[in-house]
Structure 1
Amino acid sequence: MKTIGFLSFGHWAPSPQSGTRSAGDALLQSIDLAVAAEELGADGAYFRVHHFARQLASPFPLLAAVGAKTSRIEIGTAVIDMRYENPLYMAEDAGAADLIAGGRLQLGISRGSPEQVIDGWRYFGYVPEDGKTDADMGRQHAEIFLRMLAGEGFAEPNPRPMFPNPPGLLRLEPYSEGLRERIWWGAGSDATAVWAAKLGMNLQSSTLKNDETGEPFHVQQARQIRAYRQAWKEADHTREPRVSVSRSIFALVDDRDRAYFGNGSKEQDSVGFIDDMTRAIFGRSYAAEPDALIEQLRKDEGIAEADTLLLTVPNQLGVAYNAHVIEAILKHVAPGLGWR
């Protein structure tokens, strides 16, 4: 059995070929797709966060809106770039959105991905400490965020407050109990996956990771997940961790599917460089008739190691088509693999 959700990058373009032509379209269609996915029986609605781009950027208004319009589905991110975040303000936003959703947030955070601008976090007012990198800064922000979500008091109260205070040091409000255990780290390397395990975060592993061995993507990803689980065990955490992987998977069940994805153009891993220095491997996409797709997915070691699968969806093709993509996987593929 697997938890199955979708992951939307929220792309929009003012083009006749796009079904998502404005930022407003991207936000409102994201809400509609989450509602449709819940009705279809999907388990999660996740959204990519990317600054300075025609994509989804500020996640918490969207997460709160989805939370208010749905009742069951998990609502998350994959991922929020912590280099850009004030972790205290973020903890308040996250607590509020989680309370609105009734405790359904699953927040993926990370050091971030290649950017649209040079050092974009500087425009948000953040600069690494001397001798530290921007990645160090992102991890530092993450650690502060986790401490805030734990709900411990840390701020000295005013002796003459406007409103009465509870005794002792004050924590951030609103506080949402349990959210600390629903934070995920998007790991691009084996080392950061191990670091996330030690801090008690769940693991998100996407379709991109550092090429550390030269092996196929899914093999490297499976090794990363096993290293994470071993580190979690050694840390003696008291709960079971969760692990998600992302994939582009399309069941070709009608002529639209075959026209969009039936050319087989991305059925191999690819290798490139990010940040001009890091060799990375990009996982393949899957698109085939359901029976063939089931056999292909059986061989994916990364998916086999994970308990949660996020289906990346082509959001600019519109809500109805993306709901069809999700339904095709749930109906025609997941049962054949024992996921449903």
Structure 2
Amino acid sequence: MKKIGFLSFGHWSPSSHSMVRSARDSLLQSIDLAVAAEELGADGAYFRVHHFAQQLASPFPLLAAAGARTSRIELGTGIIDMRYENPLYMAEDAGAADLIAGGRLQLGISRGSPEQVIDGYRYFGYAPTEGQTDADMAREHTRIFLEALKGEGFAQPNPRPMFANPPGLLRIEPYSEGLRERIWWGAGSRATAEWAGEQGMNLMSSTLLTEDTGVPFHRLQAEQIQRYRDAWTAAGHAGTPRVSVSRSVFPIVSDLDKQLFWRERHSTDQVGHLDGGNARFGKTYAGEPDKLIAELAEDEAIAAADTLLLTVPNQLGVDYNAHVLESVLTHLAPELGWR
């Protein structure tokens, strides 16, 4: 069994070709798609976080609202850029949203990707200290966040508080037990995946890697996953960590599918330039179900992961994206042994 969910960037545009014209549309349709995905039997609803863009940016109100409308499906992010975050305030928001959702949050966090503005985190009040990089700052914010999620007291109580305190040092409230074990690190390279394993976080790997060794994307990603698991074991962590990969998968089973994605049926990996170095981008899987079944069976990273996140073209609307999810769950998942 493989968990299957969707990952939405939550784009909106006033264009006449978009079914998502405003931020309100994007938020409400994201909740509706989570509800539809749960009804279809999918396992997860995940949302991207991008600041200064016409995309989803503030995840916790969205996750809380989706949690109140659903009862079973996992709700997560892919990913929250920790350069922008106050880790203790984030721990409060995350705890509240997780309690509303009944312990279903799966939070993907990371250093983040290139943003819409230069050093956007500075506008949020954060800057690396002398000798520190923005990646170092993101990891320090992550360390504080993970410590807070343990639920241990660290703050000295006021001897004359407005309300009576429990004994000892105080922790961040509200506290949601088990959330620390449901934090994922979005790793863009083999080295950052190893770091995530050392820290005891789950691994979230996307449709691109910020390195290129000349091998196909899925093979490089499979190596990344193995290095992550080796690092987890070497660090002495208990239990089995979870691993997700993201893919764009579009079974062509209707005339509309053909109209939208027929040209993508010969998609291949792409090599580009990102963050000052080469990067390899995974291909789009599009075609008739029989063709996709054969192609996806050869994807080594999907085989190695326990969770598959399907990137969805959210501007095509809730109904169409629910159709894509249903097509994957009906036409592909059983044949590939995912269901």
Which range, TM-score by smaller chain? over 0.9
Q: Where does residue 290 of structure 1 map in the other structure?
A: 289
Deviation at 1:265, TM superposition (A): 6.4
Q: Where does residue 251 of structure 2 map in the other structure?
A: 251
Q: Where does residue 80 of structure 1 map in the other structure?
A: 80
Q: What whole-Å deviation, never above 9, does each CA across 1:7-53 have from its counterpart, x for those lacking one? A: 00000001111000000000000000000000000000000000000
Q: Is the 8 A contact 2:82 2:141 kept in 1?
A: yes
Deviation at 1:315, TM superposition (A): 0.3
Report SS of the residue matched to 1:309: strand
Report SS of the residue matched to 1:90: helix
Write out aligned runs for 1:77-156 (5 A).
77-156=77-156
Q: Where does residue 214 of structure 2 map in the other structure?
A: 214
Q: Is the 8 A contact 2:216 2:269 kept in 1?
A: yes
Deviation at 1:214, TM superposition (A): 1.8
**Range with bigger deviation, 205-214 or 262-271:** 262-271
Q: Is the 8 A contact 2:7 2:47 kept in 1?
A: yes
Matched residues in 1 for 2:146 and 2:332: separation?
A: 37
Q: Where does residue 318 of structure 2 map in the other structure?
A: 319
Report SS of the residue matched to 1:4: strand
Matched residues in 2 for 1:298 and 1:265: separation?
A: 16
Gaps of 5+ in 1: none
1:37 equivalenced with 2:37 (yes/no): yes
Report SS of the residue matched to 2:264: coil
Matched to 2:87, the amino acid is: P
Matched residues in 2 for 1:265 and 1:72: separation?
A: 34
Q: Where does residue 228 of structure 1 map in the other structure?
A: 228
Q: Where does residue 193 of structure 1 map in the other structure?
A: 193
Q: Where does residue 303 of structure 2 map in the other structure?
A: 304
**Range with bigger deviation, 83-92 or 234-243:** 234-243
Deviation at 1:266, TM superposition (A): 6.3
Matched residues in 2 for 1:332 and 1:223: separation?
A: 28
Report SS of the residue matched to 2:145: helix
Alpha carbons of structure 1 residues 117 and 266: separation in structure 2 relative to 1, 3 Å? farther
Matched to 2:182, the amino acid is: R
Q: Is the 8 A contact 2:265 2:285 kept in 1?
A: no
Matched residues in 1 for 2:284 and 2:216: separation?
A: 13
When the two chains are superposed, the root-mean-square deviation of aligned CA atoms in Å is 0.8
**Range with bigger deviation, 241-250 or 263-272:** 263-272
Matched residues in 2 for 1:171 and 1:28: separation?
A: 33
Deviation at 1:129, TM superposition (A): 1.0
Q: What whole-Å deviation, never above 9, does each CA across 1:70-118 have from its counterpart, x for those lacking one? A: 0000000000000000000000000000000000000000000011000
Matched residues in 1 for 2:107 and 2:168: separation?
A: 29
Deviating above 3 A after TM superposition, structure 1's stretches of 4 or more consecutive aligned residues are none
Report SS of the residue matched to 2:250: strand
Equivalent pairs: percent with the same residue?
73
Q: Where does residue 278 of structure 1 map in the other structure?
A: 277
Using structure 2 for the length normalisation, give the TM-score. 0.99
Matched residues in 2 for 1:247 and 1:266: separation?
A: 15
Matched residues in 2 for 1:131 and 1:123: separation?
A: 20
Deviation at 1:264, TM superposition (A): 2.5
